[in-house]
Structure 1
Amino acid sequence: MWIGVWLFYLSAPVADLMGGGHSPGVRLLGLAGLLTFVCWYLVLVFRTVRERDIGRVLGALAVLSAQAMVLSLTLGREWLVLFVYVAVASGAALPARLSRWTVPAATAMLSVTALAVPEGRAYLAGLMVPALLGGFAMAGVRQLVRTTVELRQARATVAQLAANEERLRLARDLHDLLGHSLSLITLKSELAGRMLPEQPDRAAQQVADIEQVSRQALIDVREAVTGYRRPTLPGELAGARTALTAAGIVADVPMAAPALHAELPERSQAALAWALREAVTNVVRHSGAARCTVRLEQLHTLDGPMLVLSVRDNGRGGRASAGNGLTGLTERLAEVGGALDAGPRAGGKGFVLSARVPCQDLGSAS
């Protein structure tokens, strides 16, 4: 539609062909020249130009300029309007770094040709402004189209990154959820197997616990898939005590006082809850520990008040492995301005995981 606006200027040469007093042969040649010029112009305007094609485009513009000059010199001043199309094609087909020179050049050729055409000076003032404005307007339209295309590509990239981030979050949540639940199921299954011949009642209780954990795991997975589940510290502390006790590990796990986490942001509380779950799961599965201690403390640091969760065991120790669990915890804590430290305890006996998040002054720790 924007290109069609400029076709209005063709009325002048068409009117000259129809009523300018030219002979039939001149009219035929003039019509052929005009059609060739318009086709050449439309090819330039609608073509997607690449950097390697700029030389050919400049050559095509030179041919278009030559056509406009020949038709103007041979058929009269009404044909000077073709130089407006040369300027518009320059702005549409060339990048801004070149069109800022070619548009004035086309206008200059219009001026020179108008001075050579009889009575062309009278048309000069009325055509110079449209040539300049039309050329630079088309350069702006070209840049606008290019920016719109880049914006669409950027939006597609952002959407892809968001989808990747969501898949990563879902994978991290499923790992944290199923790792804990399946470890507990495995542990209770082993206990039930050992109790079954001699202690059927206790084995039945373990089987009932397995059923309960399985049902809860299914609920957790469904909620994680829909993105609604956020674990809480009290719930995870209770779950930690249950898991450690079932594994035969002495659990030194405090009851979280309401004042310690009531004002903690939901995302920060969820990040600490995930850290507690991952730490207890690793203690149960890998440490071989006899005792595990969990502490929640408020510390004043140079970065301000911090709520610190620490999980210590007296197991085999060893170096921290950057698996999916610790990597996911690090990402979760970083999202809320926190950090994670994990490694062997002093002396190499046992392991300690420490997660911290910013907090307000929440009062005394538990």
Structure 2
Amino acid sequence: MSGVGIGQRPDNRRQKLVKSVWTGIWLVYLSAPVGDLLHGGHSTGVTVLGWLGLVVFVAWYWALVFRTGRGEGERLVLGSLAVLAAESSVLALTLGREWLVLFVYVSIASGAALPLRTARVTVPAVSALMAVLALVVPGGRAYLAGLLIPAFLGGFAMTGVRELLRTTIALREARATVAQLAANEERLRLARDLHDLLGHSLSLITLKSELAGRMLPGQPEKAAQQVADIESVSRQALVDVREAVTGYRRPRLSGELAGARVALTAAGIVADLPAEPGPGEVAEESESALAWTLREAVTNVVRHSGARRCSVTLARRETLTGPILELTVEDDGSGGSGKGHGNGLSGLTERLEKAGGTLDAGRARHGFRLVARVPATAQAGPAGHPRTAADDAVGSGT
């Protein structure tokens, strides 16, 4: 991260700069004490002591903000806050009501630096101390309403922001853990599938090879039959492996949607995409065709359109020929070159046609619009059986 959150220590120069700027902005509310020192009519000795007290307060507050998260114990933080509260009390009692604003900083620092269970006590305590002093300091009642609410609500707001940041970090760590577990599970599945596919075939090939070797000197005909069996088993094993690899390499809509969001965001394009492909079973061939279409369409938007916004919709529709899936990708870019479809869209058209689908692409009212439609169910192959990846592999001679 380039910045640093509340309750976290900066780890590099950039984070220190960001936190310094962010903390320094809120020091502008110290203008009341500064104005009192400049125009309050205090004696020279009191003014010098006032400046010294203000500098010590800011330095202590700054150190507390920057040291938080370095492993200090809760008692040390409470001690630092007690010092700030005591100094604020002394300055308010000796210099006047303008210095009551220091308690707002003490309350906010309490909410930012302490755990929630402790801040629930310290924030009201600091606010109550400020209220008591406002009743004692001359003219402090006029400042009470304007400072009590910021001190009380500001302190608890900082606890909420800090807890939100911690929750966000925990969610990111959990997401990374889930991704790692999913990758491990996928590797285990790949190992298990390869074992199931090749274990029996390789064992059979080994046995038949040994048998053919023993038969070769005296029974060449039977040895030749064993060699033929080895060839048949090897070809079938090759088909099985290619079918499995095709399944692993087949793009999925969920993965392509996530990749599209990352690519569009990285290109500075506002992405309006569905979070998930949607409910319902989808034929593998149809899902693969739509996934390739989405990848090509988003690539064209990023590289050629000059768009500022891109929307993707995925809908399931009922037609006279059966349910279909309709993918629409629309942007507000240049609308294309007007010279016809390029090689990418031509290849998509062929891929969709093989899946029994269609592709419509062209200029829209405010950019370019691509609509791909594929059957939601598997297309029937020969003899009315669903066509599978194995049929494609065998038909292509692989």
TM-score by length of 1: 0.57
Which position in structure 1 is the counterpart of 2:83? 63
The equivalent of 2:98 in structure 1 is 78
Aligned partners of 1:225 and 1:47: how far apart in 2? 53
Q: Matches of 1:214 and 1:17 in 2, distance apart?
A: 92
Match of 2:33 among 13, 20, 45: 13
Aligned to 2:168: 148
Q: Deviations over 1:5-46 (max 9, x none)?
A: 643321211222222223444333322322221222233334
Match of residue 114 from structure 2: 94
**Alpha-carbon distance, 1:145 to partner:** 1.0
1:70, distance to aligned residue in structure 2 (A): 1.3
Between the aligned partners of 2:43 and 2:133, the Cα distance in structure 1 is 23
Deviation (angstroms), 1:195: 2.6
Compared CA separation, residues 204 and 36, structure 1 to 2 (3 A): farther
Over residues 55-103 of structure 1, what are the superposed CA-to-partner deviations in whole Å (9 max), with x where a residue is unaligned? 1111111111011111112221111000001110111111111111111
Q: Deviations over 1:215-266 (max 9, x none)?
A: 4434534543564499xxxxxxxxxxxxxxxxxxxxxxxxxxxxxxxxxx99
Matched, 1:125 2:145: yes
Percent identity over the alignment?
74
- Could you tell me how far apart the structure 1 residues matched to 2:211 and 2:42 are? 109
Q: Distance in 1 between matches of 2:247 and 2:49?
A: 73
Report the counterpart of residue 198 of structure 2 in structure 1: 178
Tell whether the 8 Å contact from 1:83 to 1:106 is kept in structure 2 after alignment: yes
Aligned partner of residue 136 in structure 1, secondary structure: helix
CA distance in 1: counterparts of 2:247 and 2:72, whole angstroms: 49
Q: Relative to 1, partners in 2 of residues 1:213 and 1:40: Cα closer, same or farther, differing over 3 Å?
A: farther
Tell me the amino acid that sits aligned with residue 157 of structure 2.
A
* TM-superposed deviation, 1:212: 4.2
Q: How many Å separate the matches in 2 of 1:204 and 1:30?
A: 105
The TM-score, its normalising length taken from structure 2, stands at 0.53
Of 42, 63, 85, the match for 1:43: 63
State the one-letter code of the partner of 1:130. P
1:206 aligned residue: 226
1:18–1:178 distance in 2 versus 1, CA, 3 Å: same
- Using the alignment, how far apart are the partners of 1:178 and 1:228 within structure 2? 16
Paired residue type of 1:220: D
Q: C-alpha deviations, 1:80-130, integer Å up to 9, x for none?
A: 000001110111111111111111100111012222222112111111011
| Counterparts of 1:190 and 1:266, CA distance in 2 | 43
Which blocks of at least 5 consecutive residues in structure 2 are unaligned?
1-20, 251-281, 285-398
C-alpha distance after superposition, 1:307-348 (max 9, x if no partner): xxxxxxxxxxxxxxxxxxxxxxxxxxxxxxxxxxxxxxxxxx
CA displacement at 1:50 relative to structure 2: 8.1
1:36 & 1:212 partners in 2: Cα distance? 87
Bigger shift: residues 220-229 or 98-107: 220-229
Matched letter for residue 15 of structure 1 = G
Most deviating of 163-172 and 217-226: 217-226
Give the conservation status (yes or no) of the 8 Å contact 1:223–1:229.
no
Q: CA deviation at 1:134?
A: 0.5
Query: Which structure would you say has the larger Rg?
Result: 1
From the superposition, tell whether residues 50 and 94 of structure 1 become closer, same or farther in structure 2 (CA, over 3 Å).
farther
Go from structure 1 to structure 2 and tell me whether the alpha carbon gap of 1:16 and 1:216 turns closer, same or farther (over 3 Å shift): farther
Counterparts of 2:199 and 2:283 in 1: how far apart (Å)?
A: 23
Determine the C-alpha separation between the residues in 2 that align with 1:137 and 1:229: 49
Q: Indicate the SS of the match to 1:160.
A: helix
- Over 3 Å counting, the alpha-carbon distance change for 1:218 and 1:19 in structure 2 is farther
Deviation by residue 1:136-157 (Cα, 9 ceiling, x = unmatched):
1001011111111111111111
Once residues 25 and 235 of structure 2 are traced to their aligned partners in structure 1, the CA distance between those partners, rounded to angstroms, is 69
C-alpha distance 23-229 of structure 1, shift in aligned 2 (>3 A): closer
Structure 1: runs of 5 or more not aligned: 231-264, 268-366
Q: Match for 1:177: what amino acid?
A: L
In structure 2, give the amino acid aligned to 1:83: F
State the partner residue of 1:188.
208
Counterpart position of 1:363: none
Separation in 2 of the partners of 1:151 and 1:134? 25
Please name the residue that 1:157 is paired with: 177
Between 102-111 and 66-75, the greater mean CA deviation after superposition: 66-75
Q: Write the distance in 2 (CA, Å) between the matches of 1:70 and 1:175.
A: 78
In the TM superposition, 1:305-324 aligns within 5 A as none
- Inter-CA distance 16–229: structure 2 relative to 1 (3 Å threshold): closer
Does the Cα contact within 8 Å between 1:72 and 1:80 map onto a contact in 2?
yes
Q: Is the 8 A contact 1:45 1:93 kept in 2?
A: yes
CA distance in 2, matches of 1:100, 1:37: 23
